[in-house]
Amino acid sequence: MNFMDNENKKIYFICDFFKEDYTGGAELTTDSLIQHAPSAFKIERVHSQNVTEEFLNNNINNLFIIGNFQNLNIKNKLFLIKNNKYSIIEYDYKFCKYRSIEKHKLVESIECNCTKSKENRINLLFYAYSDMIWFMSDRQRNVFLDKLDFLKKEKTKILSSVFSKKDLDFILKQDTSKKSGAYTILNSSSWIKGTKENIDFAKNNGLKFNLVAGLAYKEMIATLAQSKGLIFRPLGSDTCPRIVIEAKLLDCELLLNENVQHKNEEWFTNKSSCIEYLRANANFFWRYYKNV
């Protein structure tokens, strides 16, 4: 009997935050996956800080899908490792204490050495004992396979960012025929997004630009639909930034750097292949759990 045949089984998503708490890329992908879940699956959401050993013990026979787990304590990670069946959706680089090997080097002036740190041993074990790790891009996975030599490639898959049907349909309905002469730059306080460096890039290349921040999702999509392009040049590895995908679907010229890790993947080659991939990747994810 596979998992889907047992009507009493549940899948718990454990994450630091969900879409209702914070609308970051990880939270939007997690939410989209849950929306695409087969009706036969019983899905529940649990904040990682609310997980207890009693809860895990009471759900030994259920499945866990772990998103960002900064707030999951060491005892509960160890319990999961020893007793529960779980997968990880890896949105960044949590084997590094800065969640970015580039930021580690910037702050400490040395290459990331977190995989050798005793303090990080539990996180490494957490990856090692997962049944499956889902990555946002092939380049991200390759970094993990290089840094964590105990990982087995066959226990990993590429998922990329996931969009809900509603959001994807909304994006594709936008009129992109009235482009302005200005590029969009995301005005973010996050170091990795490199707002200042993106502004400098625009100025040094004589490009008109608009700084955008604090917009509701639909307003942001409407803004990109009217923009000539997107300047997005992160300071560190950004595994699969949603704004780049949205800009691609909205016929924007993309001025990116190598830190946009999905930019050379086959599915991202053109708008048509991008749409086809995004229509299918949630189903690809759930097919795996139908056979667990």
Within 8 A by CB and 6+ apart from 251, the residues are 176, 179, 271
φ and ψ at residue 193, rounded to 5 degrees: -75, -20
Beta bridge partners of 65: 13, 87
Q: Residue 255: its pLDDT value, please?
A: 98
CATH 3.40.50.2000 in the chain, residues? 3-160+278-290
Q: Per mean pLDDT, which range of 22-26, 131-135, 184-188 is the poorest?
A: 22-26
The answer on pLDDT for 22 being more than 70 is: yes
Q: Residue 4: its pLDDT value, please?
A: 53
Share of the chain above pLDDT 90, in %: 93
Query: Residue 5's CB: how many other CB atoms inside 10 A?
Result: 9
- The fourth-level CATH superfamily of domain 3-160+278-290 is Glycogen Phosphorylase B; (3.40.50.2000)
Averaged pLDDT for residues 24-32 = 96
Q: Per mean pLDDT, which range of 72-76, 90-94, 119-123 is the poorest?
A: 119-123
The answer on pLDDT for 118 being more than 90 is: no
Q: What is the pLDDT of residues 40-70, one digit of tens each?
A: 899 999 999 999 999 999 999 999 999 999 9
Query: Where do the H-state alpha helices sit in 134-192?
Result: 138-147, 165-172
* Tokens encoding 192: 């990795």
Class of domain 165-264: alpha beta
Q: How confident is the model at residue 290 (pLDDT cuts 50, 70, 90)?
A: confident
Q: How confident is the model at residue 8 (pLDDT cuts 50, 70, 90)?
A: low
Q: Residue 3: its pLDDT value, please?
A: 53
Amino acid making up residue 90: E
Q: Residue 1: its pLDDT value, please?
A: 41
Verdict on whether the full-model pTM lies above 0.85: yes
The answer on pLDDT for 219 being more than 50 is: yes
The answer on pLDDT for 2 being more than 70 is: no
Task: Map 126-145 to HEC letters.
Answer: HHHCCCEEEECCHHHHHHHH
Averaged pLDDT for residues 238-243 = 98
Q: Residue 173: its pLDDT value, please?
A: 98
Q: Residue 7: its pLDDT value, please?
A: 62
Averaged pLDDT for residues 212-229 = 96
Number of H helices, E strands in the chain: 11, 10
